[in-house]
Structure 1
Amino acid sequence: MASSFFSNPFLLPLLSLVCFSLFIESKTFVSATTRKQYIELQHITDHYHHVPVTSFFPSSTCTSPQGGSRKGWLEVVHKHGPCSKPKQHTSSSSSFIIPHSEILEQDIARVRAIQRKLWEARRQASEQDRKSTTKTSEASLDQAVAPAPAEVQLPAESGEIIGTGDYFVKVGLGTPARELSLIFDTGSALTWTQCLPCLRSDSCYTQNEPIFDPSKSSSYSNIPCPSSQCSQLFSATGNQPTCSASSGDCLYHISYGDRSFSTGNYAKETLTINPAHVVNDFLFGCGHDNGGLFNGTDGILGLSRNQISFVQQTSDIFHNIFSYCLPATATDVGYLNFGGEPPSDNVIYTPFSSIPLSSYFYTLDLNGISLAGHSLPITSSVFSSGVIIDSGTVITWLPKAAYDPLRDAFRKAMSKYPMAPPFSILDTCYDLSGQDTVIVPKVTLSFGGGANVDLDASGVLYALNETLVCLAFADNGDARFPTIIGNTQQRTLEVVYDVGGGKIGFRPHSCGGSSKFVTGVSPAIPPNPF
């Protein structure tokens, strides 16, 4: 029977044709399946971070910074990390605890202080407009000087400044130069440090380095009162300077939203960035009565747009250009650069905002937010109250009309991971116990001028411990409040401030980062949030 089958001249060609057809169909099926898998994998690679869970948490040693190639270069260290104390550079990550509750409570205080400062500036501007306008309706006047929302009607000292930041650099002060650790802050104008003698036994907090002693510097001198230099203090501190009854020297007082403060002599001194860049007659505060949450640092390096900030005082040296890269975790080291030509390679620039918020802060235009490659239903008008980028605020604070769509889409994209209870102001948290890797949807901020900036995975999730992470955004409480881009979202980006050129730039992956896509592991397809 079989032999007759194979000897049949009509059946053999038919069998060959059937076999060939089956082969082609199977190959086509495999090819289609492979193509679909490739497309899905490419989509994940383009629009998601697939990273080790351990990348969100501090490592056992401090890493060396990268990217310091321009004029004035300084290492940037987190004030709560082990890198903040040289003796701890080789300590294990379990030997220090980052006080997240304290950090986030201070963040709330800082944000409310920013809101109060801007609200007061707007109120004063409205009153000035009212005085200069003869034909203004009662309704528009009532709206112009409306009382502040409840969130910013908190007890506040006169002249309160926004609060202290998280990252510090080391500079030299005096002749000979003494090393100081100063928190650098784009929201502060006055640079100051603790000075001897302390007014009382409790007038100086504990710091890592010896307190600066102006009597041991040959280049120190106090600013007299009254003087044009002394009168500039009001715009920087919000407090009128006073005159010493005994010496006639100019005295400053500055207080912060977290109740930190400093009072002392306004003075000039030699400031050393590095041996090649020394600033003579630098104006700063020499604090003899100080207190607050500085975690061992010696004071503040003010980098705001104010006329007495470090940026403005050194404009002839560094030409109003600086940049920084904040590391992915508290055990990594970033950098702060001053001067040189504004970098252009792989930098995405956006102009300063056209919305006049304040001459104090750095402001941008934010037009929208995308998640996993999809634009969220957020119009640019949502950000009409203005957008501030700030090195001292920790997380990003959005209007409710922007935060809710982001949070809801993020939760859908992360639905395969078990949620954890909210932590402080963070309401979208996850328990990553038992996970080796995690797939995080990319968040893209779309700024003016077509500048689309992808955040690093460490800029999307805020890590609380070895297993708990939270979405690093919050609702700012009122649509009339500005959006604030915090330092978590800026991690691993080199943020370039070309103040003279009127623009800010972003260069991705400039000091490490957790967004290197895991290879050799096939990720599961994440849930579609749309």
Structure 2
Amino acid sequence: MKNMLNIITIIICLWLSWGRADGAQKRESGELSFHRIQASSLFPSLPAPCVLPPRVSNTKSSLHVVNRHGPCSSLSSKKATISPDHDEILRLDQARVKSIHSKLSKKLTARDRLSQSQSTVLPATDGITLGYGNYIVTVGIGTPKHDLSLVFDTGSDLTWTQCEPCGRNGTCYPQKEPIFNPSSSSSFSNVSCSSPFCDSLASQGRVKNCLAPNCDYGVGYGDRSFTIGFLATEKFTLANSDVFDNVIFGCGVNNKGFIGIAGLLGLGRGKVSFPSQTAMTYNNIFSYCLPSSPEYTGHLTFGSAGLSNSVKYTPISAVPYSASFYGLDIVGISVDDKQLEIPSTTGAVIDSGTVITRLPPMAYAALRTAFKEKMSNYKTTLGRSILDTCYDFTGQETMNIPKVSFSFKGGTVVELDSIGVLYVFNKSTVCLAFAGNNNDDDVTIFGNVQQKTMQVVYDGPGGRVGFAPNGCM
């Protein structure tokens, strides 16, 4: 009996030793189920210098992607000495989400959509609200080129900018750079009403007016901002090397409701989007990386140059009532390697303009519960704006944040960067960067906080979207 007890004791000791060794091996190999992050990475001191990545200088078809509040932004007059108004960011984000849900809602009848698209007044709820528009790129327009800061948007097709002179009954909002003047460009030309691109406006729910020889347009957004003008063709220059003649864009002469930016670069799936118009050169492929914080820059790269070897792809799915959005199928979500109980397949859109990812109510509740369990050692604080799960990290030097992963159709599993799990107001208010939709039938939106630091690839011919880690390097 004594020998048997000794054997059992040895087995237990070996089992415990193996468990400790296995845990140590996982720690050494980095296979932890949480992110250990330094407080300094979440709360950088200001002002901070602008940090440029090597990718943009090495790839001619790349543009710098900058946060409009950061030190690299031409729109930031005091170079990141002023913190962004987070409540305003999230208010505008909610307005964008509301307009996306309205546009893609099953509750809108075909008659409603037809009346919106044929309206002679602006379709006030048909366009997608621009929202906060965190990320901008600089594009050269005209001959000689006029550098303009444009928000890039994967949920919109039409590229547009403000144009002089502003209409007799219209206005142009204040922008940082001088407003583009077509009369000063030798490559500018109007688009006629007989152009097929003019006809395509009506099919995309945009106002079309052909009372004059030119093709007028109007795009109304859900927050009552709008741009009205005419279609034109112009020379577009990317990074001083890739030049495209006869790019169709909107020349807005009556615009309202936007702040600072010169306009928008449409990266949607429609025929008039910039990737579609440059497909002969770039094969309708583009990628981007959104920087981890305002003092860093990311990139927007057209074509397949510089794509990571570690990109994992998932098929693009159809999006009801919209030919612009890129649809994805989410088949699972995990927290700390634990699979959550959510609907087997959740249809979603990936959107560069939405800040916070929106999930079905049941999926968000499961995510929040699992996250809270893993964060029980940290001091909680009141929620803020649309975010209800927040923590006070005052006095913390390091934090262990549970890993969050999304599983997409086709077996693609994407682990979010730690910065893609949290939304930081300040040291005393750091929140889970997800929110629940109001209704089960509202579309899920994979937002830009969750996309940070990843290389996100849009492959039009392949009908797929890809993800790879460390995309801004």
TM-score (norm 2): 0.88
1:263-302 alignment, distance < 5 Å: 263-294=228-259, 296-302=260-266
| 1:198 positional shift | 1.7
Structure 2 Cα separation of the partners of residues 67 and 509 of structure 1? 12
Picking from 254, 260, 265, the partner of 2:219 is 254
Residue by residue over 1:158-190, the C-alpha shift from the partner in whole angstroms, topping out at 9 and shown as x without a partner, is 533342432110010001111011100000111
Measured at CA, do residues 285 and 86 of structure 1 come closer, stay the same or move farther in structure 2, by a change above 3 Å?
closer
Find the structure with the greater CA-based Rg.
1
| 1:191 positional shift | 0.4
Aligned counterpart, 1:507 = 468
| 1:47 positional shift | 1.3
| Mapped contact 2:60–2:239 kept (Cα < 8 A) | no
**Is 1:496 equivalent to 2:457 in the alignment?**
yes
SS of the residue 1:161 aligns to? coil
Structure 2 Cα separation of the partners of residues 195 and 468 of structure 1? 42
SS of the residue 1:84 aligns to? coil
Residue by residue over 1:400-425, the C-alpha shift from the partner in whole angstroms, topping out at 9 and shown as x without a partner, is 11100000110111111111111111
Structure 2 Cα separation of the partners of residues 126 and 204 of structure 1? 30
Aligned counterpart, 1:471 = 432
Aligned counterpart, 1:142 = none
The farther-off stretch of 271-280 and 195-204 is: 195-204
| Mapped contact 1:194–1:211 kept (Cα < 8 A) | yes
**Number of residue equivalences:** 453
Residue type of the alignment partner of 2:407: S
| Mapped contact 1:66–1:334 kept (Cα < 8 A) | no
The alignment-based identity, stated in percent, is 46
| Mapped contact 2:158–2:249 kept (Cα < 8 A) | yes
Structure 2 Cα separation of the partners of residues 325 and 106 of structure 1? 22
Measured at CA, do residues 183 and 29 of structure 1 come closer, stay the same or move farther in structure 2, by a change above 3 Å?
closer
Residue type of the alignment partner of 1:403: Y
SS of the residue 2:224 aligns to? coil
| 1:45 positional shift | 4.4
| 1:450 positional shift | 0.7
Aligned counterpart, 1:65 = 53
Aligned counterpart, 2:32 = 46
Aligned counterpart, 2:294 = 330
SS of the residue 1:101 aligns to? helix
Measured at CA, do residues 101 and 355 of structure 1 come closer, stay the same or move farther in structure 2, by a change above 3 Å?
closer
| Mapped contact 1:51–1:437 kept (Cα < 8 A) | yes
In structure 2, the gaps of 5 or more residues are 1-9, 115-121
**Is 1:371 equivalent to 2:371 in the alignment?**
no
| 1:99 positional shift | 1.2
The farther-off stretch of 28-37 and 314-323 is: 28-37
Aligned counterpart, 2:409 = 448
Residue type of the alignment partner of 1:63: V
| Mapped contact 1:327–1:511 kept (Cα < 8 A) | yes
Bigger fraction of residues in helix: 1
1:118-129 alignment, distance < 5 Å: 118-119=104-105, 123-124=109-110
Aligned counterpart, 2:366 = 405
| Mapped contact 2:331–2:408 kept (Cα < 8 A) | yes
Measured at CA, do residues 87 and 408 of structure 1 come closer, stay the same or move farther in structure 2, by a change above 3 Å?
closer
Residue by residue over 1:68-120, the C-alpha shift from the partner in whole angstroms, topping out at 9 and shown as x without a partner, is 4545100001123332138868x5x5x21211111111111111111111126
Residue type of the alignment partner of 2:124: E
Picking from 213, 218, 225, the partner of 2:186 is 218
Structure 2 Cα separation of the partners of residues 234 and 71 of structure 1? 35
1:159-198 alignment, distance < 5 Å: 159-164=126-131, 165-198=133-166
| 1:261 positional shift | 1.3
Measured at CA, do residues 355 and 114 of structure 1 come closer, stay the same or move farther in structure 2, by a change above 3 Å?
closer
| Mapped contact 2:268–2:324 kept (Cα < 8 A) | yes
Picking from 416, 420, 442, the partner of 1:459 is 420
The farther-off stretch of 353-362 and 27-36 is: 27-36
SS of the residue 1:67 aligns to? helix
Structure 2 Cα separation of the partners of residues 125 and 376 of structure 1? 39
| Mapped contact 1:220–1:267 kept (Cα < 8 A) | yes
SS of the residue 2:150 aligns to? strand
Residue by residue over 1:218-238, the C-alpha shift from the partner in whole angstroms, topping out at 9 and shown as x without a partner, is 0111112243222222234x2
1:295-310 alignment, distance < 5 Å: 296-310=260-274
1:79-94 alignment, distance < 5 Å: 79-85=68-74, 91=79
Structure 2 Cα separation of the partners of residues 54 and 235 of structure 1? 50
Residue type of the alignment partner of 1:470: C
Aligned counterpart, 2:3 = none
Measured at CA, do residues 202 and 99 of structure 1 come closer, stay the same or move farther in structure 2, by a change above 3 Å?
farther
Measured at CA, do residues 43 and 276 of structure 1 come closer, stay the same or move farther in structure 2, by a change above 3 Å?
closer
Bigger fraction of residues in strand: 2
**Is 1:199 equivalent to 2:167 in the alignment?**
yes
Residue by residue over 1:266-297, the C-alpha shift from the partner in whole angstroms, topping out at 9 and shown as x without a partner, is 11111111333111111001111112233x21
Aligned counterpart, 2:210 = 243
Measured at CA, do residues 61 and 259 of structure 1 come closer, stay the same or move farther in structure 2, by a change above 3 Å?
farther
| Mapped contact 2:165–2:253 kept (Cα < 8 A) | yes
Name the Cα RMSD after superposition.
Answer: 2.9
| Mapped contact 1:58–1:330 kept (Cα < 8 A) | no
| 1:489 positional shift | 0.2
1:302-451 alignment, distance < 5 Å: 302-340=266-304, 343=307, 345-353=309-317, 358-381=322-345, 383=346, 386-451=347-412
Aligned counterpart, 1:55 = 41
The farther-off stretch of 479-488 and 352-361 is: 352-361
Residue by residue over 1:467-505, the C-alpha shift from the partner in whole angstroms, topping out at 9 and shown as x without a partner, is 421101001111111110000000000000001111111
Measured at CA, do residues 171 and 58 of structure 1 come closer, stay the same or move farther in structure 2, by a change above 3 Å?
farther
The farther-off stretch of 256-265 and 113-122 is: 113-122
Residue type of the alignment partner of 1:160: G
| Mapped contact 2:150–2:263 kept (Cα < 8 A) | yes
Structure 1 Cα separation of the partners of residues 19 and 304 of structure 2? 52
Measured at CA, do residues 85 and 343 of structure 1 come closer, stay the same or move farther in structure 2, by a change above 3 Å?
closer
SS of the residue 1:232 aligns to? helix
SS of the residue 1:199 aligns to? coil
Measured at CA, do residues 270 and 29 of structure 1 come closer, stay the same or move farther in structure 2, by a change above 3 Å?
closer
